[in-house]
Amino acid sequence: MSIGLLFPNLTLSSSKDIIICTLLDETDLTAKQIHSRVSKTKTISYQAVFKYLQQLCDVNTLVKTKNTYAISPDWIKQLKTFTNIFDQRTNISAAGPITESRTIEFNTYYSFIEGILNLFSSRMLIEKDGPNYGVGALRHMYWALNFGDQNFEKLKIMGQKHESYVICNGNTIIDNWLKDYYISAGFKGIKLEANYNLENDFAVVGNYIIQIFFDPETEKRIDYFYRTTKEISTLIQKGFMDDMLTKKVQIKIIVFREPELAKTLRDKILTFFD
């Protein structure tokens, strides 16, 4: 029973996250079976696994039936509800080629991520005989919240059809988790804790530069959730999805063509990868 919403098949550091990933792949396992599978990833005692199972049941992430455990249907329903309600697709590519500066505004974090994925995966910024690089400099790795289906295919287009590299000033649990996920999608390199002098996030795709501006309050909220989260599985209890999906934001991107500046920025980012 894999829902493809929050937990892709990654090697996670938190025992609770590993337990959840195990039960997303195989349902109705006993504590002994779960311990056997978790032990293949992380050294942990049976008693510790049993304690974590009880804690996950207490917060309704898991349910216990007789001697077996499974992901709670209510928990899955809650995740799906969040992503479905705010499934705002921004079809940027339908607007045609970008021949001059274009400004695009988003009023939810989710629609912003969807818009970025659509823009980069459309390949509309890659010109014939032009550079095929896609690089970015970010405060924190971007999270699409529903990487499981179409969005992951878009991420793979970004990672596999571009020479894609990202430097990121963050080095949190979430940044590290997403780093592995981007690499699995085909990105050539991700450098965390880059300590890059970054006023605003930006990306360079081909000869185009994409400047990204978050309103100050949204920047603070994103930084708070990334900085304070110790386990991926606790994000929904911390209110990340509710906060980031329901609250109105002001996120603006400016896309413009400037080949020389694009090359300068691209070359600077690539120095982080020798």
* Residue 48 included in any domain: yes
d(C-alpha 138, C-alpha 71), whole Å: 34
Q: Are residues 77 and 206 in the same domain?
A: no
Helices 46-58/15-25 angle, 10° precision:
80
| pLDDT given for residue 116 in this prediction | 86
Last residue in a domain, options 83, 110, 141? 83
* Residue 8 included in any domain: no
Q: Are residues 116 and 79 in the same domain?
A: no
CATH number of the domain where residue 228 is located: 3.30.870.10
From 14-23, 182-191, 197-206, the region with the lowest mean pLDDT: 14-23
Q: Are residues 64 and 124 in the same domain?
A: no
Q: Are residues 221 and 157 in the same domain?
A: yes
Please, what is the average pLDDT of the chain? 79
Last residue in a domain, options 83, 113, 132? 83
Q: Are residues 138 and 111 in the same domain?
A: yes
Q: What is the dihedral of CA 199, 165, 163, 7, to 10 degrees?
A: -120
* Residue 9 included in any domain: no
Q: Are residues 107 and 153 in the same domain?
A: yes
Spell 253-274 as b/e; 16+ CB within 10 A means b.
bebbbeeeebeebbeebbebee
The distance from CA 42 to its chain's CA centroid, rounded to whole angstroms, is 24
Average pLDDT of the residues in 155-159: 83
| pLDDT given for residue 260 in this prediction | 87
- Both tokens of residue 66? 């007789």
Q: How many domains does the chain have?
A: 2
At 215 the three-state DSSP class reads coil
pLDDT tens across 97-145, in order?
Answer: 445 578 888 888 878 888 888 888 887 888 888 898 999 999 999 876 5
Q: Are residues 119 and 54 in the same domain?
A: no
Task: Please name the helix (run of DSSP H) or strand (run of DSSP E) that holds residue 69, with its range, or none.
Answer: strand 68-71
Q: Are residues 265 and 173 in the same domain?
A: yes
Average pLDDT of the residues in 204-220: 91
| pLDDT given for residue 82 in this prediction | 39
Q: Are residues 187 and 255 in the same domain?
A: yes
Full domain range(s) for residue 65:
15-83
At 23 the three-state DSSP class reads helix
Question: Would the pLDDT of 89 be above 70?
Answer: no
